[in-house]
Structure 1
Amino acid sequence: MAAYKFMKACEDAGLTQRELAAAAGVPQRTVARVELADNTSLDTLDKLATT
C-alpha cells in the first residue's frame, strides 16, 4: 500500500525515478526499491519524501 502511494505521488508530481533520485541525492535503484516495497531505511524515505 505504501509503495503504491509513493508511486502515485511521484506520478502526480510528474517525476521520473531518475529525476526524484537526483533531487534526493540517492541512486535511481533506491527509488526503484521503494516502489517495489523492498526494505528501505527511514533516512532514505525521509530524503525522498522531503524532495
Structure 2
Amino acid sequence: MLGPLLILFVVLVGRNSMTTVLVAGYIVGFVVYTIYNVSTTLEPPDWVQHP
C-alpha cells in the first residue's frame, strides 16, 4: 500500500526540499492515521457503532 507513496517520495526528493518535507509529512500523517484507525477498530468507540 505504501509502494506508490515511496516511489512518489523518491521522485520528489531531487526536485525541491520543501516538496520533500511536505511529502514526508504526508507519509508520516498517513501512517499515524492508519495506526489510529487500526487501534479504534480493535476497540470501536460509541460514535462508530452509532453514527
Q: What TM-score does the superposition give when structure 1 sets the normalisation length?
A: 0.33
Task: Tell me which protein shows more helix as a share of its residues.
Answer: 2
Q: What TM-score does the superposition give when structure 2 sets the normalisation length?
A: 0.33
